[in-house]
Structure 1
Amino acid sequence: MAKAATPTKSTKQKPASGTKQSSGGAKSGTQKKKPAEKPKPWRQANGKVDAFRVLAERLANGEQVIPPRMLTGQARREHVRSTLREDHATRIANRAPGAANKFDTLAGDYFKFFRGTALLFYRDLVGEDASMPTVMALGDVHPENFGVMPDANGAPIFGVNDFDETIYAPFTWDIKRGAVGFWVATDMVSGMKRKKRRKVVAKFVKGYLKAMKTYARHSNEEHDAFRLNNSPEVIQRLFEEAWEERRDWLWDDYLKPNGRGFRSDDELQPLSSEKEKFQKAVNELAERKGFDVPDRAGELKVKDVCVRHGQGTASLGLPRYYVLIEGPSKDATDDIIIEFKRARLSALEGLTPPSDFNAGSKADRIAHGQSVQLAHGDIFYGAVEIDGESFMSRERAPFRDDIDIDKLSYKTWKKYAKACGAALAQAHARSDDLGQIDYDVEPAILEATRPRHLFIDDIVRFTAEAADRLKQDHKMFCEDHARGAFENIEMIYR
């Protein structure tokens, strides 16, 4: 519901002299003056990032202020509605087809709703955990944001794989987001009872703490990576399932029958006329990253470009392009694909407790987060500007894949949660080696989580409460969505 501002009188303006008027119905030799267009008594509502930044500071300083998670009933409904409208304002205003698709997707189930509404989740955490150690946080931890991806040499590694929301924040924010993600997924996807969900969440937290303890002792997080030969069994299976020959991957999923460019279908829309523009973007990326072009990228020549429709959950409706780079063989069997996706503010922006650490803005922030959390990650992960907008980039690969959570048993869920907790700990532990943190992260986190069992119990209790609130939020969202609540942006009337 938009807040009404105090009405104000509008000043009448005279038409500019010499303005040509319509002659319809007017007598000969006379001009009918066109009345001045009155200014509209409404305007688009501004976002609330700055307001929440102030709220975060007040809460962090111990002031007694009611955060959004304490709202109930109609007040909570209007908060959910307003937050989702704000988060998607540009997409709604532009009538982007992906915006409508995203809201339909969010209505599907409350795990998809959780994945696509990070801003709503973090506004409930506004200003919390100010006393906890800060890390380079991923920002959007959940079971499907871990996976296999290419490292700097194009070889497969396992780890956190979505850096769109990354920002410096208390380490507990990632743990809380991940814990709720595992709770909701095991409920929605696997239909587990609450007792089993608690145990899966506890495994996630225990996996994190155990790995953090190891990194505190051996300081090997900067060089280690989860690979086929050193990963838990549940992750080794993912490596094996994800593997596909590049030629088969290219020709089955992307290329035209002659191999000369992207095919056209409901997901891929070729933009061959834009090759020159994206060649400049690729050249800028290589220059900014300062890397030697790997042999597998040939001469870094753009072969074709396409728009990718309907991918992601949180990013549905944002522009996303695939750029085909000609491989050294020039026969379309070893081409590589670089993805460019429009970047936006982190959902955590203005919500974290005040911090001296700044990862940058939009795509630069995302690239910084990836460089910290994956020490030897994808060399094409970076930031460029296209048509005046900030875009992040990354390589797509035949083995870029995440686990099929639909097929996990209760036993495998626990193993997978533990492995993901360890991977998150590895990403956090790099915050002082490769990021801006100026103290030893590992011992600080271990000290902050004592006594261990109390910390785990606190996270599990937080998770159950947050998930129950999320379920109610989703129900209210579905009701509002059915009534067209997200067809228009927030407006302020006067």
Structure 2
Amino acid sequence: MAQKRKSTTKTAPKKKTATRTSKEIKPSRKAGGRIDRFRALSERITAGEQLFPPVLLTGQARREHVRATLREDHANRIEQRSYGARKKFDQLAGDFYKFFRGTALLFYRDMVGEDAEMPTVMTLGDVHPGNFGVMPDEHGAPIFGVNDFDEAIYAPFTWDIKRGATGFWIAGRELGGLKRKKRRKVVKRFVRGYLDAMEAYAERATERSDDYRMDNSPKVIRRLFEEAWEERQDWLWEDYLKPNGRGFRPDSELQPLTGEKDKFQKAVDALAERNGLDPAERTGTLTVKDVCVRHGQGTASLGLPRFYVLLEGPSKDATDDLVIEFKRARSSALEGLVPTTDFNAGDKADRISHAQSVQLAHGDVFFGAVEIDGESFLTRERAPFRDDIDLDELSAGTWKEYAEVCGAALAQAHALSDELGQIDYDVEPSIVAAASPRALFISDIVSFAEEAALRLERDHAAFRKDHALGAFDNVEMVYR
């Protein structure tokens, strides 16, 4: 190869040009949340204006909407380089059902302002087949019902129905392998279970005493009670305690923080005062024995701080200790999206605690809200029988039976909105009337679920591409 000859021509020296300073190329601010903008959108849609909501976006515009929404929803976790956030995004990329479960904000922004004419209830906010299960009641006995109140808010009853129907549609295929025709039957049974129970409450007003218990549960969940039961002593020593029983054992999920006992003792004392808890046979003296961080738990909440607090039981021999969970609370994904209403459950953990007190008439006495280091935390007891059903073990027939039971449990939670909540009119007959004619209402919900699932499939494909390209390593920024 011929060598290049060096030029002998002299050139004038280059002028120094002004260089950009780092200050000039820094973003002016982090991109803020869009809750207020969506609240304004909800108000305008409720008022009847013809607008262009995000559900109508397609192509690249929809992809960028999905990206921006997930970045916003996880902004704090992304900024803090949370391992849990990275793990959550990996899980969402690999599992369509988990993507549905972990992206409630995306789902509800597609519903902004909808159903303003429908009766308002204390909604669960995130209804799907995995958010029903066995948990302790106020006496520590197991009951079955709705068990996740993180997104709860006052909203049209149809928002829970639509979310639940979509959840059964997706889970039926992803976990049950059900074909389209069978999934339609499952969704119909979910809605019918809800409407049948609501009609019964409209006639007999038994919603405060209709808990599913071990003695009165349908066959499909009776087995869950039996399988979930475990003696507290065995559960404590197998899952949590050191060999000497004096505190949490360190492992891949539990990271002891024994030095934080005083801080959490104050939090427990505040909870006891707020909930009116008196030291008793079951609760002991409410003395904190140990504290740990719980890693890797949850789907939507994965990456949020979560602590377990070990309370000494009455016997003081580590056979009946209590484990109380403290999970940092956020605003509801439905905040600013639901049609404008005068009913307000509060914010963060206070809102979640209010929802639990409404939707579970005889719920966990440790369910509450406390503040730790300026952050809002939700509290609840971790019980040896807290469990939910194994969806991938259900047959086609039991999918329908389980959907019907969940629909009825949701109806009970909604029916309590005018008993223990803020609703100031008779909810049950209002819902029955609003869902008439029944055949049309059920058909509309099935169609909604099918359309929503197809849209979420496209969203999931876009998310997977963005995730592979590192789109969720940073938050949205605004540049000058």
Identify the TM-score tier after normalising by the shorter chain: over 0.9
Where 1:297 maps in the other structure, the secondary structure is: coil
* Aligned residues of 2:331 and 2:348 also touching (Cα < 8 A): yes
Separation in 1, partners of 2:312, 2:107? 42
Aligned counterpart, 1:374: 360
Aligned counterpart, 1:47: 33
- Please tell me whether residue 72 in structure 1 is matched to residue 58 in structure 2: yes
Residues 274-314 of structure 1 deviation map (CA, whole Å, 9 limit, x = unaligned)? 00000000000011112323311110000000000000000
Residues 101-140 of structure 1 deviation map (CA, whole Å, 9 limit, x = unaligned)? 0100111111000000000000000000000000000000
216, 222, 244: which one aligns with 2:208:
222
**Which deviates more from structure 2 when the two are superposed, residues 218-227 or residues 194-203?**
218-227
- Please tell me whether residue 243 in structure 1 is matched to residue 220 in structure 2: no
Aligned counterpart, 2:108: 122
Separation in 2, partners of 1:227, 1:215? 18
285, 291, 294: which one aligns with 1:299:
285
Residues 199-248 of structure 1 deviation map (CA, whole Å, 9 limit, x = unaligned)? 00000000000000111111010222110111111111110110001011
Separation in 2, partners of 1:482, 1:328? 52
Separation in 1, partners of 2:353, 2:329? 10
Where 2:271 maps in the other structure, the secondary structure is: helix
Q: Which runs of 5+ in 2 are unaligned?
A: 1-20
- Please tell me whether residue 164 in structure 1 is matched to residue 147 in structure 2: no
**Which deviates more from structure 2 when the two are superposed, residues 194-203 or residues 289-298?**
289-298
Separation in 1, partners of 2:212, 2:278? 25
Query: How far is 1:61 from its partner?
Result: 1.0
- Please tell me whether residue 173 in structure 1 is matched to residue 159 in structure 2: yes
Tell me the matched-pair count. Answer: 460
Where 2:330 maps in the other structure, the secondary structure is: coil
Written as runs of structure 1 = structure 2, the 5 A alignment for 1:331-350 is: 331-350=317-336
* Aligned residues of 2:27 and 2:477 also touching (Cα < 8 A): no
Query: How far is 1:41 from its partner?
Result: 4.2
Q: What one-letter code is carried by the residue in structure 2 that aligns with 1:150?
A: P
- Please tell me whether residue 360 in structure 1 is matched to residue 346 in structure 2: yes
72, 91, 98: which one aligns with 1:105:
91
Aligned counterpart, 1:138: 124
Written as runs of structure 1 = structure 2, the 5 A alignment for 1:194-209 is: 194-209=180-195
Written as runs of structure 1 = structure 2, the 5 A alignment for 1:401-420 is: 401-420=387-406
Q: Which runs of 5+ in 1 are unaligned?
A: 1-35
Query: How far is 1:37 from its partner?
Result: 7.9
Separation in 1, partners of 2:347, 2:364? 20
295, 309, 318: which one aligns with 1:309:
295
Written as runs of structure 1 = structure 2, the 5 A alignment for 1:269-284 is: 269-284=255-270
Aligned counterpart, 1:385: 371
Separation in 2, partners of 1:188, 1:485? 26
Written as runs of structure 1 = structure 2, the 5 A alignment for 1:252-291 is: 252-291=238-277
Separation in 1, partners of 2:76, 2:424? 37
Query: How far is 1:443 from its partner?
Result: 0.2
Query: How far is 1:190 from its partner?
Result: 1.4
Q: What one-letter code is carried by the residue in structure 2 that aligns with 1:118?
A: A
424, 434, 439: which one aligns with 1:438:
424
1:210–1:41: structure 2 CA closer, same or farther, 3 Å change rule? closer
- Please tell me whether residue 429 in structure 1 is matched to residue 415 in structure 2: yes
Where 2:473 maps in the other structure, the secondary structure is: coil
Separation in 2, partners of 1:134, 1:217? 19
Separation in 2, partners of 1:73, 1:410? 35
* Aligned residues of 2:103 and 2:300 also touching (Cα < 8 A): yes
Q: What one-letter code is carried by the residue in structure 2 that aligns with 1:416?
A: Y
Query: How far is 1:192 from its partner?
Result: 1.0
Where 1:322 maps in the other structure, the secondary structure is: strand
Aligned counterpart, 2:465: 479
TM-score (norm 1): 0.92
Aligned counterpart, 1:193: 179
292, 303, 324: which one aligns with 2:310:
324
**Which deviates more from structure 2 when the two are superposed, residues 347-356 or residues 231-240?**
231-240
Aligned counterpart, 2:14: none
Aligned counterpart, 2:4: none
Where 2:417 maps in the other structure, the secondary structure is: coil
Query: How far is 1:188 from its partner?
Result: 0.6
Query: How far is 1:380 from its partner?
Result: 0.3
Separation in 2, partners of 1:191, 1:224? 32
Q: What one-letter code is carried by the residue in structure 2 that aligns with 1:297?
A: T
Aligned counterpart, 2:440: 454
Where 2:155 maps in the other structure, the secondary structure is: strand
Percent identity of equivalent pairs:
73
Query: How far is 1:359 from its partner?
Result: 0.1
Separation in 2, partners of 1:177, 1:375? 23
148, 170, 179: which one aligns with 1:184:
170
Aligned counterpart, 1:463: 449
Where 2:167 maps in the other structure, the secondary structure is: helix
